[in-house]
Structure 1
Amino acid sequence: MCRWRAWWKGLPALAVLVALAVTFARAPVEEDLTERAETLLAVIGESWAHARFEGRNALLEGEALSEDARIKVRYELARLSGVRVVEDRTTLLPERRPFTFSAIRDGNKLHLEGYVPSSYARRRIAEAAAAMAPGVMVTGEKELVRARGVPAGDFIGAVAFGIEQLAKMPAGRITLSDNAFSIEGRAPDFASYDALEVTVRSELPKDFELARFAVLPPIVSPFIWSAARERDGDVTLSGYIPLGDARRALLDLVRGAMPGAAISDRLRLADGAPPTEGWLKAAAFALAQLGRLPNGTVTLSGTTIAIEGTAPDFAAYDAMSAARRNLPEGYTLTRFAVEPPRVDPFIWGVQRTANGLRLTGFAPSEEAKRLVFDAVRGNFPGVPVSDEMRIAMGGPPGEAWVAATSFGVDQLSRLRQGSVRGNGTTLAISGEALDAAAFLTVRAALEQSPPRGFTLRSDVRPPVVSPYVFSLRKDADGLTLSGFFPSPTEHERLVEAAKSQFLGDRLNDVSAIAQGAPQGFTAAVMTAMRQLSRLDSGEVRFDDTQLKVTGTVLYPEAVASVRANLAAGLPSGFTLDVALSVAPPAPPLDAAACQSLITHLMEKGSITFSASDAAIEPSSFGLLDRLAAAAARCPEALIEISIRQPGTDAATATARAQSLVQYLAAAGIAPDRLITGERPSLAVQSPDAAAPPAAAGVQLIVR
């Protein structure tokens, strides 16, 4: 029989026992299910989800990247052994469009910002950032926001790739916007820049594309660019090109300046250029000059321009020289080494005319021309200068050319008109001197310091004067020569004749050389000088072809003799005006004093005869007149004349002695006082080595 009342009383105890059994058995089950669920989620790649168990009932939590991921997790978790039901409490992450991520480096600091698809991605990116460089400090990794919308492909790999590139720059930035990758910054050197460009353009992870490569090349200083043109017309560009579209603009400039030229582009991008607009204008200027050269080089260095090459003709060289005065604003031309055309013969000249100076021909360089122009300005201040000189090759070295031409210009400054002309290494100077002093200075310079390395030719003439005056004055102070003479040779003849005929009188020569002498001038002066030597004092003066003679003769008979000799000796065309007086008689002398005076005169001068007969040379008339005046002072004495000349026959000696007797008799000495023959010598004229042989051995003896 059933005892239901007793059974009911045992139910509470049984319930307690069941509750205790369930409580202590549930915890191990939940722990086991939780552990196996976490392992499952990790295996299937959905670690974003987490399972919490109440007994065998799973509570699924987390933020899913997609609805498919939620379905997948629910399905896989429901299949897990021991799970009764799955309660899905997951949510979807917010979707971001575009899905962006950035990493910014500034020295040893790296900041991360943007979106990541998962915590796993956040952790992997943080690890890549920390490994970028030793000591780098990473910030922002905890603020990275998980979101849906990550692009297809290896997002983590693309971020890690970008961080690796940032490691090559001291500062920079990478950005991912969906599947578009951008990088910017500045490379520390060209090797890094080249490596970055190659790597980014060729190794970017699949499914991502390069949207922007804005890595700046290094800053260079000086910023150098050059263009070289070869003889075949090809153009090589080298050096640096500014950032932006400068390369395309530059290539257009090259094609415009040298149409059809093959272009070898060896330029590389660099920072540090002057403003691009001005730089392109300077490049256009330089290329325009290069277009005029069959071979040459143009260079920009910072804001300076250099041009080198050889001009094919004067038109090209002149155009380039003119262009030097129209440089682009802000730029300077620091080197212009363009060789001008070569010429043969290399000629040049500096001409002085009444209107100024004219420079013609060729100069070896602009610098040489400038130096010569300075020499012209210095020697001819205020004088108009016409510069027609061109620069050319083929001449003497520049330094030698400048020295020779400047030497010529110095001499030209002493000429009234004339020229300096060069041909190779021959320098010719010609013209009329300003005055006699200038003529002598030029002549001395030509003789003493001609330009080294040059053959010198000279046709420098004395100045032309009008009227042409010349005078000889004889007085107590000696003989004075003044006025002009036509040449150094004729001047030397006049001086030598004066020394001989005026018996050693002091010579004061203030004459000067000049052109413009009338025909027969020297012969007329020699005739006048011979008659002046006969005067006690006086002057002969030429005014062109007019001769005026004034003075005092030693004896009355000399007046007519002097006049007659002048009239007979003057060349045709000369006119004569004579005004002479007679000196008062000198006090008488005894024979001894008279002999002493005659001996003194014979020692100072010499009596010469014609080499072919017994005629007395007119140059001896001055001495004979003084001998006559001396003989007149001892009227009672006899004068014995004796000629002893070795090699002269007796007849000639006798005839010459008779010529002397006739001259002295005509001078007023009584013929009966003049005797010839062998007598003891009281006065002897010793042979003079400088006199002709016929002059030796003449003796005048006072008895």
Structure 2
Amino acid sequence: MEGKTSMHLPKKWWIGLPVLLGLGYFAQGALTPRLEDDLRAAVLSRVARSPDAIDRPEVRVSGRDVVLAGVSLSPEAKASLLTALGVETPARRIMDATQPLSRATPFVLRLERRGGKAMISGNVPPTGVRERLRAEIAALGLEVSDSAAYADGAPHAFPDLASFAVRRLAELDPATTTMTDATLAVSGEARSAADYERALAALKASPFESAVKVEVSPPRVSPYVFTAAARDGVISLSGHLPSDDLRKQVVAMAAAAGAGAAVSDATELGAGAPAGDFAGALAFAVGELGKLSQGKVAVSDGKIIIEGQGRQNIFGETIRADAKARLPSGFEIARLDVMAGPMTPYVFSAQRAGGEVTLTGYAPDEAVRNRLIETARRNFFDAKVVDRLMIAKGAPQNFAEATDHSLAALARLDEGKLAISDSNISLAGVARHQSARAEIAASFADALPQSFRGEAQLSTRIVGSPLDASRCAAALSELLAKSPIVFASDDSAIAAESAPLVDAIAATALRCQGATLEIAAHTDNIGIAEVNLGRSKRRAQAVVERLAKAGVDPFRIIAVGHGGERPIASNDSDENRARNRRVEIVVK
């Protein structure tokens, strides 16, 4: 037909068909995995919006066919989910491969805390409990790790029971709470003493029907310290103890030690008590507190501190002896500062033997103690003073004055002992010569304060073998080198503290039977020379008279005064002037 172009159809059109089919096949193979991934994501997204339907869902896709596996939490919720998947996803067919929820026997839920992290494991019911547990734990400021599995068989009121277990995590760290059906086991360490008390109180009022197993320890404490203090009729307890039973025992100990005192207990429970017999160490410490009128005891780890005021006849050595006998092994006295209590009888003793005079017994305070030591040092010119006095209350009135006088009397003895018991004083010993014995015996009791009674039992040392002039001079020089003869004020009376020295000079002079003794007195340069000369003569004469009274032949002793004419040191200092004020004895 003219005016029209006809289409040419090849006779062998089928030759290109395989090529087209190959292109289609390869296109489909490239697109299928992507389509399956998109379908799987869509199904999982929809399943996630129904968390109460399937636990731990698994989705397998082949083309547009879907296999849904996992644990069926609720048949009703699962049915609704399957319907929604058929409508809301491009799946052609959905096959249900889920397993029914298993029953856990026993039904166990474990909650653990380690620092700032909490772990959930075991079983939870499919009723929203998991979300509630996570929220409650997160509210405690803890990071939550959840590996629990859904299961059937939860006990009645499981959510409330689980919440009770969660609250224990706030009080304990580390902590483990294990619910097994309707029973509860709690273990761990309290975060504080208050948390320990709260945890124990809560567990005693547990909502669990069965008994609750509790292995909860108080918080660990370091250093581990317990203190008991007695003051104003009250014994106050503080610090830490490892158990409530021991706390009750300690309160009872304190009440017994206080003999009627009220007991105020502010102790807290804490772990970390020292090893060994800690209860025995507490019994010792609280018992020793009962020996103090006021004070405190402390047990710090394995060391014990005791300080305060002792009761009657109690002093530091009493407590130290108790510790040696009763303190358990592993514990030691770290500090002992106990002021002796009122002592009955109140004793003081001074014994002179050889080159020492030893002071023992009590002094009422440091001032009196120092006074007595100084009195002894002034009077015992040729002996070392050994102080073993202790401070203790209970001294009789005028104790210091009576003891001063008695020490001065003892110093005049060559050897002897002074003993004071309350207001009774005894002096025994050997005088250096007969005149000294008579003077001491006559004045000892009469010079004591009125409230004291004194008794002196004295003998006289036998005069030693005679000394020739050279040996006599050496012996007298040795005595004067130990101490100068001291005179009262500025005149010629020999001071009482020099009486022992003059007695010793007299005892030596009695042995110098064939020699003449010149007693030469000297002064410093202070004052008028004529006055000093007269004073020195009177001082020399005072010594001569004392020697004559002791039995030295007065015709063999001569008094000479040189005033300040013969100094042995320059008079430019108090020390040098004191050296110039002296008495010398020249043997002829």
Q: What range describes the TM-score normalised by the shorter chain of this pair?
A: 0.5 to 0.7
Aligned equivalents of 1:166 and 1:547: distance in 2?
101
Aligned equivalents of 2:436 and 2:483: distance in 1?
19
The answer to whether 1:700 aligns with 2:585 is yes
Secondary structure class of the residue paired with 1:600: helix
Point out where structure 1 has 5 or more consecutive residues left out of the alignment: 1-131, 133-164, 172-182, 227-236, 256-260, 339-347, 393-397, 400-406, 442-456
- Which of 660, 666, 690 is matched with 2:549 structurally? 666
Amino acid aligned to 2:380: F
- Which of 553, 556, 559 is matched with 2:431 structurally? 553
Kept in 1: contact 2:410–2:416 (CA 8 A)? yes
The answer to whether 1:283 aligns with 2:162 is yes
Matches within 5 A, 1:160-179: 168-169=57-58
Query: Where does residue 266 of structure 2 map in the other structure?
Result: 389
Amino acid aligned to 2:505: L
- Which of 515, 537, 540 is matched with 1:657 structurally? 540
Aligned equivalents of 1:436 and 1:168: distance in 2?
79
Aligned equivalents of 2:587 and 2:390: distance in 1?
44
Query: Where does residue 403 of structure 2 map in the other structure?
Result: 525
Q: 1:547 to 1:575 in 2, by over 3 A?
A: same
How many aligned residue pairs are there?
447
The answer to whether 1:675 aligns with 2:558 is yes
Kept in 2: contact 1:431–1:460 (CA 8 A)? yes
Higher Rg: 1
Aligned equivalents of 1:684 and 1:413: distance in 2?
67
Point out where structure 2 has 5 or more consecutive residues left out of the alignment: 1-35, 37-53, 61-67, 179-184, 221-225, 258-262, 274-280, 299-304, 322-334
Amino acid aligned to 2:424: Q
Query: Where does residue 23 of structure 2 map in the other structure?
Result: none
TM-score (norm 2): 0.56
- How much has 1:576 moved relative to structure 2? 0.9
Matches within 5 A, 1:454-603: 460-476=338-354, 478-487=356-365, 490-495=368-373, 497-505=375-383, 512-567=390-445, 569-603=447-481
Query: Where does residue 296 of structure 2 map in the other structure?
Result: 420
Kept in 2: contact 1:306–1:335 (CA 8 A)? yes
- How much has 1:553 moved relative to structure 2? 1.9
Q: What is the aligned-residue identity percentage?
A: 21
Matches within 5 A, 1:118-267: 168-169=57-58, 185-186=70-71, 199-200=81-82, 202-203=84-85, 216=101, 223-224=110-111, 242-244=123-125
Secondary structure class of the residue paired with 2:295: strand
Aligned equivalents of 2:354 and 2:190: distance in 1?
77
RMSD: 6.3
Aligned equivalents of 2:490 and 2:155: distance in 1?
101
Kept in 1: contact 2:228–2:235 (CA 8 A)? yes
Aligned equivalents of 1:596 and 1:216: distance in 2?
119
- How much has 1:638 moved relative to structure 2? 3.1
Determine which structure has greater relative contact order: mean sequence separation of CA pairs < 8 Å that are 6+ residues apart, divided by chain length: 2
Secondary structure class of the residue paired with 1:677: strand
Query: Where does residue 625 of structure 1 map in the other structure?
Result: 503
Amino acid aligned to 2:516: L
Secondary structure class of the residue paired with 1:532: helix
Aligned equivalents of 1:491 and 1:672: distance in 2?
45
Matches within 5 A, 1:348-387: 350-351=228-229, 358-360=236-238, 363=239, 368-370=240-242
- Which of 420, 430, 441 is matched with 2:308 structurally? 430
Aligned equivalents of 2:491 and 2:484: distance in 1?
17
Kept in 1: contact 2:349–2:360 (CA 8 A)? yes
Q: 1:218 to 1:238 in 2, by over 3 A?
A: farther
Kept in 2: contact 1:545–1:573 (CA 8 A)? yes
Aligned equivalents of 2:95 and 2:192: distance in 1?
48
Aligned equivalents of 2:340 and 2:544: distance in 1?
46
TM-score (norm 1): 0.48
Q: 1:247 to 1:668 in 2, by over 3 A?
A: farther
Aligned equivalents of 2:234 and 2:456: distance in 1?
47
Amino acid aligned to 1:548: S
Aligned equivalents of 2:79 and 2:306: distance in 1?
69
Aligned equivalents of 1:616 and 1:274: distance in 2?
113
**Could you give the per-residue CA deviations for residues 325-361 of structure 1, whole angstroms, max 9, x where no partner exists?**
67764654668789xxxxxxxxx951359x997514x
- How much has 1:626 moved relative to structure 2? 0.9
Secondary structure class of the residue paired with 1:526: helix
Amino acid aligned to 2:578: P
